[in-house]
Structure 1
Amino acid sequence: MILFAVLFALVLVFFLLKKPSNNRNWQPDVALLPYATFAGDKVTLHNIRNCDYRTETDFTVQHYDKTFDLDSLTSIDLYLVDWGLGSVVHTMLSFGFNDREYVAVSIEARKQLGEGYSTTRGFFRQYELTYVVADERDVVRLRTNYRQGETAYLYRVRGDKKVFQDVFLDYLGSINRLKDTPEWYNALLTNCTSQLRGHTRPYFRKVAWDWRLLANGYADELAYEKGTLDTSLPFAELKQHSIINSKAKEADQDSNFSRRIRDGLPGIDPTALKP
C-alpha cells in the first residue's frame, strides 16, 4: 500500500506539473491561432478559418481577417451537433451581424499532427484548448456535408443586443488570452459546453443546477424551457424543424450559405434574411 501510494503520488505530481504549450507540431487546421484587435466599436478578427474541403480529412487550410462593427451584432445562434450518442453532442455559437455576416466559434481540443481525439485522453492533459473562429462554410459544412452520421441543429437564441455583445466580448477575451497563455482542454471541465456556459452566464443565472448541463445533448431542451429559444412550437417540433443537414448540402459552397441554412427556421424573421 505504501509503494502504491508513492507511485500514485509521483504520477499525480507529474500530471500536475505538466504545462500546456502553443509550440507543438499541430495539425494544419488548428496550427494558426485566432485573435482580435479593437479600434473603438470596430473589432477585427484575425485568422478566421475557412478550409476548402474535398473530404473530411483532405482539405486546404485558408484564413482571412475581417472587421465587424459591434453595434451591428444582432443575433446569436446555437448549434448542437449530434454524432450518434444523443446525450453528448458538440456545441458551437455563431454571431450574426445584421443577419448578413456570421462568424462561428467552435471550442475544441487542439490536436497535434497525426493525433486523433480520445475522450479518455481528454481527461488527462493530453490536448490543449483552442477556439476555432471560423466561417460557417467551414465548421458547419464539415459536420453536415463531409462527416458521416452527424446531425446538426441550429437554433436562434433570444436576447437583447447588449447581452449578445457581452457574450461576444467574453469569447474574444478568452481567444486573445489563449494566444499568449495556453490552457489544457478537459473532457469534463473545460470543453465545448462548459466553456460556452461560462461565456453565456447571463442565460444561466436562474439555473442553480440541472443534469442537462452535463448531458449537453439536452441543452436545447433546457434552453427552451428557460425561454431562451423560440417557443412558438412544441419543443419536439422545434427540434425537428431545426435540423439543417439537407439545407447545408443544398447550399454547399454558395456564398449565401449562412442565409440559406437559416431560411425557414423558427424564431428567425424571414425578411431579415433577404439578399
Structure 2
Amino acid sequence: MKRERRGVRRHRVLRALLVLAALWGALAMYFLLRAGTPIRIGVGMIWCLMAAAGLHGLRPGRENWAMPGLFGVAFALLFGMWWKMPPRQDRDWADEVARTLEADVHGSRVTLRNVRNFDWRADGSALPRWETRTYDLDRLAGADLALSYWMGPAIAHTLVSFEFDDGQRVVFSLEIRKERDESFSALGGFFRQFEATLVAADERDILRVRTNVRGEDLYLYRLAIPPAQLRTLFLGYVAQARALAARPRWYNTLDNNCTTMVFDIARLIDPGLPLDYRLLLSGWFADYAFDHGGLQPGYDMATLRRLGQVTARARAAGDAPDFPARIRQGVPGE
C-alpha cells in the first residue's frame, strides 16, 4: 500500500513538472522566436501537443516512458539554448536607449557621457539630445525616490534623482533596452526578451515623459540619507553604468529590474537590508523604504504619499525651465 501511495505521489509530481515545463517552453518560444505571431503560436501549440503526449505516457499502471523521455530531452535542449543566449550591444535600438551611459571619476568630480535630455512631444515622439555633464560629489545636496505607476497600485517604475547645491539634478533609471520595433512586456521580461540599460537623464525628460506623455502617476519621496552615503549611492550607479557598458546583461522582471538595482545599491550603505516581497511588487517599495528609515522623518507614510503625488503639478508645469522646482512644491523635505 505504501509503495502504491509513493507511486501515485511520484506520478503527480512528474505530471506537475511536465505541465510547468510545457508552459515555460511555450512562453519562451513565443517571446524569443523572431517570427510573426501565427508562427509563434503554432510552434507553441506543437510544443504543448508534445507535452500532452508526455502526460499520456505517464498514466498510472500503463506507463510508456518514450514520450515523457522525448519531451524531457526537448526541454533540456530548449532550456540550454535559452540559458546560453548572450545579451548584445549591437541591436537596432529605440532612440531613447540608443546610447549607453559612460562615466569617468576623478576625485570628487564625475563626468557622465550620454545623459539623456530628450524633448518629448505629446504623441510620444521626441527630439533626441544626448549631453555630457560633470558633477561635483562634494556638492551633493539630496536625493529623491521617484515611483511612476503604470499598471495599478502594485507595479511602479523606480527611479532615483540626485540634487546638487549648484542647481543640477540627474535621474538614474534601470530600463529595458528595447529594439526599435519592441514594446515593454512584464511577462517577456522573464524570458530574456530585453537587455538592461542604465539611463541617466534630465528630469524634464525622464519624469515628464511619464506624467505628460505616457499618462503615468508619479510620486516623489525625499530620501533620508546623509551626504557621505549619498556619495556611495551615486557612485553605486556609476559602477553599474560601467559594468553594463563593459558587459551587457539581460533585464529580468524578477531579479534584475529597476527596483532590485536600487535595493542592490542601497545595500552598499546598509548591508543588512532584508529581502522583501515589495522588491517585486514595486508599487509598495516606498513603504519598504519608510519601514527601514529611508524616507523623510517626521511624517507618517500616508502623509508622505499624499504630499508626494506630483502628477498634476508635472502636467501643469509642462516643459518649463523650473519643472523640478514646480513639481516639488509641498513635498516633505524639499
**Structure 1 runs of 4+ off > 6 angstroms?**
none
> CA separation in 1, counterparts of 2:269 and 2:101?
26
For 1:216, the equivalent position in structure 2 comes to 282
Taking the aligned partners of 2:268 and 2:198, their CA distance within structure 1 comes to 21
| C-alpha spacing 1:20/1:53, structure 2 compared with 1 (3 Å) | same
Secondary structure of 1:142 counterpart = helix
Alpha carbons of structure 1 residues 49 and 206: separation in structure 2 relative to 1, 3 Å: same
Select between 169-178 and 252-261 the one with higher mean Cα deviation: 252-261
Partner SS for 1:200:
helix
1:193 aligns with 2:254: no
1:74 counterpart residue number? 141
Query: Which residue does the alignment assign to 2:317?
Result: 251
Tell me which residue corresponds to 1:119: 186
Q: Give the AA of the match of 2:156.
A: V
State the Cα distance separating 1:206 from its structure 2 match: 4.2
C-alpha contact 1:74 1:96 (8 A) present in aligned 2: yes
CA RMSD across the alignment: 1.5
After superposing the two structures, state which structure 1 stretch, 76-85 or 19-28, moved more: 76-85
Contact 2:103 2:110 in 1 (8 A): yes
Between structures 1 and 2, the one with greater helix share: 2
**Counterpart in the other structure of 1:59:** 126
Q: How far apart are 1:211 and its partner, in Å?
A: 2.5
Aligned to 1:273: none
Q: Return the offset for 1:40.
A: 2.4
1:140 and 2:202 correspond: no
* Aligned residue in 1 for 2:326: 260
Alpha-carbon shift at residue 203 of structure 1 (Å): 5.6
Larger RCO (alpha carbons 8 Å, 6+ apart): 1
**Distance (Å, rounded) in 1 between the aligned partners of 2:84 and 2:122:** 39
Q: Measure, in 2, the Cα distance between the counterparts of 1:209 and 1:130.
A: 23
Q: Following TM superposition, by how much is the alpha carbon of 1:144 offset from its aligned partner in structure 2, in angstroms?
A: 1.0
By percentage of residues, which structure has more strand? 1
Would the aligned equivalents of 1:73 and 1:164 in 2 still touch at CA under 8 Å?
Answer: yes
Aligned with 2:307 (options 241, 244, 268): 241
Q: 1:45 aligns with which of 96, 112, 117?
A: 112
| Equivalent residues in 2 for 1:76-115, closer than 5 Å | 76-98=143-165, 100-115=167-182
- Residue 9 of structure 2 corresponds to which residue in structure 1? none
The normalised TM-score by structure 1 is 0.93
Assess if the C-alpha contact under 8 Å between 2:171 and 2:203 holds in 1.
yes
* SS of alignment partner, residue 207 of structure 2: helix
Task: In structure 1, list runs of 5 or more residues that go unmatched.
Answer: 269-275
Distance 1:73 1:232 in 2: 22
Identity over aligned residues, as a percent? 37
CA displacement at 1:55 relative to structure 2? 2.3
3-state secondary structure, aligned to 1:186: coil
Greater CA deviation, 89-98 or 230-239? 230-239
- Counterpart code for 2:196: L
Contact residue 229 and residue 269 of structure 2 kept, 8 A:
no
Match of 1:157 in 2: 223
User: Could you say if the C-alpha distance between residues 124 and 39 of structure 1 is closer, same or farther in structure 2, counting changes exceeding 3 Å?
Assistant: same
Whole-Å separation in 1 of the counterparts to 2:274 and 2:126: 43
The more displaced of 229-238 and 202-211 is 202-211
Distance in structure 1 (CA, Å) of the matches to 2:199 and 2:131: 13
Quote the offset at 1:204 in angstroms.
5.1
Contact 1:103 1:134 in 2 (8 A): yes
Unpaired runs of 5+ residues, structure 2, are 1-67
Q: How many residues align?
A: 267
The Cα offsets for residues 165-224 of structure 1, whole Å up to 9 and x where unpaired, read as: 011111101101211211111111100001111011156544434322322211111212
Q: What is the TM-score normalised by the length of structure 2?
A: 0.77
Question: Does the 8 A contact of 1:100 with 1:259 survive in 2?
Answer: no
2:296 counterpart residue number:
230
Conserved 8 A contact 1:37-1:43: yes
Partner of residue 16 from structure 1, selected from 72, 78, 83: 83
Would the alpha carbon gap of residues 267 and 236 (structure 1) be closer, same or farther in structure 2, given more than 3 Å must change? same
